[in-house]
Structure 1
Amino acid sequence: MHSGKSYKISEFLLWTRRNIYITLIISIVPVLLYQLAGFTWIAIPWTVVSLLGTATAFIVGFKNTQTYNRTWEARQIWGAILNSSRTFGTMSRDFIDNSDVTKELVYRHFAWLTALRYAMRDSRAWETSSKTYNKEYQAFYDIPEREKSIESELEKYISPDELKYILSTKNKAAQLLSLQSKTIKEIFVNKDIDSHQFVEMHRMVKEFYDHQGKSERIKNFPYPRQFASINSFFIKLFCILLPFGMLNEFDKLNDSIEGIMKGQMVWLVIPFSVLISWVYTSLEQVGESTENPFEGSANDVPISQMSRTIEIDMREMLGETDLPPALQPKNNIIL
């Protein structure tokens, strides 16, 4: 997540520069053929290009709206995790008189947050963080889940026996919640909590399962490939045809121009074609980077920061003072 006022234009140009290079080549070729080789027949009516551009603008806008909705839903899910975690911490402290058991539940919850965020950072075939322009931009910020192993993080919160068991499971976060449920049952059987408290604490475990399932749904179900593909096809087609449609329009300007530019107006097709194409390709790239809110891109939901915030809040509830520092942005990017 970008935590500053905005991206700098230099950052944006660096991120999208490959599209600029490609559209520059696409624009130069038809102008050379038209102006120098005399192939004036390659020009196509502007109406054709404008209709295609309108259709492309609609589908690009639709995709960007839907991908933003995916990111916003992910933010809402993790906001709910944060609120539910604080409630669970309060219950664990106030319902249970045994401080060791309270700490066990709270620290296992930290382990659940850790396992869940590591699962969310796993790569999927449809994600784009491995694309050159995204991979290159990762040098500007830190991805905590790529810097430390999940084993080294989990061992801070759970016993060696539990760690060994959890590492052997496929869905580590789900199994940690299962252990929470088992511990809560044991507390109830030992009469350390009453039936009402038992129900309330189990309800919190159910809430965490619900939050996890919602988060996994976004992670494991991509933006529909048919929409993503047609969006990409339309933009490529539009960028290729755009300079061909602008040739006649700029050539007509020669009739009303005097001086050094008379007869040379067609060359302006190159910069204007690159500019318009850059707008469309950049919108496509922005939508693509918003599509998967957990993949480790600069526009991700900051689940690592939120997990650290939860840990600080819950450890303060336990009266601890030796707290981990809050995660800080690097170049205004924080995950």
Structure 2
Amino acid sequence: MYTGKSYKLLEFIVWTRKSIYLLLIMSIIPTVLHEYLELKWLGISWTVVALLGTATAFIVGFKNTQTYNRTLEAQQIWTQILSTSRSWGIMSRDFVSNPEKTKLLIYRHIAWLTALRYEMRSYRVWETSTKKHNSEYQQYYYIIPENEITLKEELSKFLSPIELEQILKARNKATQIMAMQSKTLKELYDNQEIVVLQFVDFQRTIKDFFTQQSRSEQLKDSPYPRQYAIINTLLVQLFCVLLPFGLLKEFDKLNDSISGIMHGNMVWFVIPFSVIISWMYTSLGQVGESTENPFEGNANDVPISKICKTIEIDLREILAEDNLPDFPQPQHDIIL
């Protein structure tokens, strides 16, 4: 998540520079052919290009709206996890008289958060964090916490060696950790360490955690519909290719009303203007692409690592612990 006031223009240009290079080449070629080889027929009707540009603008806007909605949904899911986790900590302390069991329930919950966030950071084939412009940006501006330390090392802080070995063998580690929680609660109830209403409240909370986990997993494993993604990419590419051809005649006409040094040379303005207009479309597409998967490790992701660390600090404070981890700080105004 970007926490600064705004991305710097230079920073944004560097991020999109490969598109700029390509757009520059695509605008230079038709202009040179038009001027030096006298291929005047290369100029096409501006009306055709304008209609294509309008259709492309609609579909690019539609995609960006939908990708923002995916990020908003992810933020809502993890905000609910944050809220319910705090309730879990209070219930574990106040419902259970045994301090060891209280610590067990709270530490296992932190382990559940850890397993879930590591799963959310795992790679899917449709994600874009490995694309060169994103991986370069990540290399210089921020780190992904889940890439710095292994899941085993993280879980070992909160689970016993026996539980750790069992969880590492599971396919869905978060689910199995929550299953352990339910089993422990059943034992507490059978031993009359909690009453039936407390047991029911605990189970309702576990059900809520499972609901939020499933919503998060569904968002992770359901990409932005590929049919819309490909048509968006194709329309943007087609528009960028045709735009300089559509501008040739328009700028050539300006020579009739221009005198002096620019007379006869107005067509060269096709290059900068076509690059600027095309860059606007490709940049919108690139921004939408980088926000459609809110857990993959891009700069605009939902900060699930920060949320989990916040929960860990809150829950361990409930246990009155002193050796708390440091609160995560943004790196170059970016925090995950």
* TM-score interval (norm. to shorter): over 0.9
Matched with 1:84 is 84
Matched with 2:60 is 60
TM-score by length of 1: 1.00
- TM-superposed CA distance for 1:258, in Å, is 1.0
| Partners of 1:31 and 1:110 in 2: CA distance | 61
Residue 101 (1) aligns with residue 101 (2)? yes
After the TM superposition, which parts of structure 1 deviate over 6 Å for at least 4 consecutive aligned residues?
none
| Partners of 1:248 and 1:42 in 2: CA distance | 9
Q: Secondary structure at the match of 1:103?
A: helix
Matched with 2:292 is 291
Matched with 1:246 is 247
| Partners of 1:258 and 1:314 in 2: CA distance | 75
Residue 197 (1) aligns with residue 193 (2)? no
Residue 119 (1) aligns with residue 128 (2)? no
Matched with 2:110 is 110
Q: Secondary structure at the match of 1:78?
A: helix
What amino acid is aligned across from residue 231 of structure 1 in structure 2? N
What amino acid is aligned across from residue 273 of structure 1 in structure 2? S
Matched with 2:21 is 21
Matched with 1:267 is 268
| Partners of 1:184 and 1:204 in 2: CA distance | 12
- TM-superposed CA distance for 1:10, in Å, is 1.2
| Partners of 1:6 and 1:81 in 2: CA distance | 28
- TM-superposed CA distance for 1:321, in Å, is 1.8
What amino acid is aligned across from residue 23 of structure 1 in structure 2? L
Matched with 2:317 is 316
| Partners of 2:174 and 2:138 in 1: CA distance | 27
CA RMSD of aligned residues (A): 0.4
Matched with 2:160 is 159
Matched with 2:41 is 41
Q: Secondary structure at the match of 1:295?
A: coil
Residue-by-residue CA offset, 1:207-255 (whole Å, 9 max, x unaligned): 1100100000000000000000000000000000000000000001111
Q: Secondary structure at the match of 2:125?
A: coil
TM-score by length of 2: 0.99
Gaps of 5+ in 1: none
| Partners of 2:222 and 2:312 in 1: CA distance | 29
- TM-superposed CA distance for 1:41, in Å, is 0.3
Gaps of 5+ in 2: none
Matched with 1:213 is 214
Q: Secondary structure at the match of 1:300?
A: coil
What amino acid is aligned across from residue 43 of structure 2 in structure 1? A
Q: Secondary structure at the match of 2:202?
A: helix
Aligned counterparts, 1:2-17, within 5 A = 2-17=2-17
Matched with 2:136 is 136
Matched with 1:31 is 31
| Partners of 1:216 and 1:155 in 2: CA distance | 23
| Partners of 2:295 and 2:216 in 1: CA distance | 9
Residue-by-residue CA offset, 1:20-59 (whole Å, 9 max, x unaligned): 0000000000000111110000100000000000000000
- TM-superposed CA distance for 1:319, in Å, is 1.1
| Partners of 1:102 and 1:204 in 2: CA distance | 15
Matched with 1:225 is 226
| Partners of 2:85 and 2:181 in 1: CA distance | 13
Matched with 1:169 is 170
